[in-house]
Chains A and B, each alone.
Chain A
Amino acid sequence: MKKYFTRMGDGSAVYMTEEEIRKDIEAGIANAVRGAKVDPLTDDEIEHLYNIITAPDSVVSVENHRRVVQTSDSSSNKLGRHSGIAIDQPTQTVIYERCLGCDSMDMGLNDYNFKAVKSCAENEAVIVKNALTYSAMPLLYGGMPNLGFYTKPDGPVDNWAELLPAGKLDEARAAQEEAVEYAVHDMVFVADTMYKVGVDGINLDTCGASGDADWLAALKACEIIRNKYPDMGVEMGMAGEFVLGMHGKLEYDGVRLAGLYPHQQVKLAEKAGATIFGAVVNTNSNMSFAWNLARTCTFIKACMEVAEIPVHVNVGMGVGAIPMSEYMPADVVSRTDKALIEICNIDGL
């Protein structure tokens, strides 16, 4: 029986039969439908997905007119920080523009969270200003709300991760609510500083990583930033397909945040004024690429059906069906991109 080369969610190679792949596609779809209460993919979409996964080519692609644009997170320092090349961020930015053909670039501090940036925002702004002077493509400044950074001993707020196991639910909720206000202040402060040197947009990245309070902070900050600077875009990227209820009772615009999936998250991002939404579906490294891609497409298709702002699906390491590996195999990356564009009609990556 013929077996097709594909991968697991950790990137390791695996050979699967048609029956095994189809079974995993069905299971991945069922998992998403069960969790998010969204419609499954149609029979035609499943067939197309199967053909994409089993295509004999190493790298697959889309028709020319269906190509989409790309944003990123912290990419302006990846040649330096990840590849270990001695090079400054403005020079990296121009390399991404003129050598690598990127549509945009996102600058940020190595630690990539707004609390850390606040103390050196002026220094960061000079670096951003240089990059803006040297380049022509859109530049964003990004970071994570990273609410956990506001807990003791590094921050001023009691640690809800310690309070919750102790049964101190009210104290844990109060601590998170306090941290929200600190985080909003820091995100807006950094946005103010970067706007003044001319940045094109702010990237609020990995929102919800610390749960519903983390995402509330990002929504509030987005709303303030967009009201202050209507000409400056805000991209809001998520941490996962499901908002964890670390607080459980927090709401934005009358909607409880805990438990929301991408098709619900995007509506709140729109209300907060975000101009681009970064949808995320986490990769399960124990499951096959077929399972992960089918699950991702099911969540994202539902999100695209209701989204009124552009959605850039996160397809980095460990999200959007991309394997949990730093070394990206182009075979599965290109298959993921093709499936998201042709089945889900995404606006960007």
Chain B
Amino acid sequence: MGGMHTAGDLVLRMQLAKGMKIDEAKKYVADKLGITVEELCDPIVMSEIREELGLGLQLPKSKDAIAMEAKINIAKVLGIKINSVEVFKSRANL
């Protein structure tokens, strides 16, 4: 679906964590982002949203969230627990 180029990584997260079928996972992510299912695959729309919400970008600038920073934001936006975020917080005593 394009991963971070679009919203593929976010949709995959909902399948893997919650066992959502593709249409349900896409709708869940689209609703959380306030866009249409069609726009999930639009790299122009998604790059703007990912930049604004700090969800990680394929071409990050110095101000943009990447890696663990982005995952912390993804967990908040999607309303899910991400295991590596929880481990990171725990090990860093955050």
Contacts and interface: CB of A to CB of B under 8 A. Distances in A.
Please determine whether chains A and B interact with each other in the same assembly. yes
Contacts of B17: 200-201, 231, 233, 275
A99 B58 contact: yes
B3 A102 contact: yes
B86 A103 contact: no
A136 B11 CA distance: 13
B83 A200 contact: yes
A311 to B, nearest CB: 9
Majority SS of interface residues in chain A? loop
Interface stretch (A21-29, A190-198, A290-298, A326-334): A190-198
Main DSSP-derived SS at the B contact region: helix
A138 B13 contact: yes
Contacts of B71: 136
Interface string B46-63: 000000000110111000
A347 B67 contact: no
B33 interface: no
A230 to B, nearest CB: 10
A319 B66 CA distance: 35
Contacts of A36: none
Contacts of A67: 1-2, 8, 41
Nearest to A194: B83
B53 to A, nearest CB: 12
B66 A103 contact: no
B2 A101 contact: yes
A198 B86 contact: yes
B58 to A, nearest CB: 5
B41 A68 contact: no
A308 B76 CA distance: 27
Given A69-B1, A69-B12, A198-B86, A134 B67 contact: yes
A276 interface: yes
Interface residues of A, number: 46
A348 B15 contact: yes
Contacts of A100: 3
A309 B2 CA distance: 22
A38 interface: no
Contacts of B70: 136
30 contacts: A64-B41, A65-B38, A67-B8, A69-B22, A71-B12, A97-B4, A97-B58, A101-B6, A101-B58, A102-B3, A104-B3, A133-B84, A133-B88, A136-B4, A136-B70, A137-B3, A137-B56, A140-B16, A198-B83, A198-B85, A198-B87, A200-B82, A201-B16, A231-B83, A275-B15, A275-B18, A310-B15, A310-B19, A310-B20, A348-B15
Interface of A: 64-65, 67-71, 96-104, 132-140, 195-201, 231-233, 235, 274-276, 307-310, 346-348
Given A69-B8, A70-B1, A231-B17, 15 more contacts: A65-B37, A96-B3, A98-B4, A136-B68, A136-B70, A138-B12, A138-B13, A199-B84, A200-B82, A201-B17, A231-B83, A276-B19, A308-B19, A310-B21, A310-B25
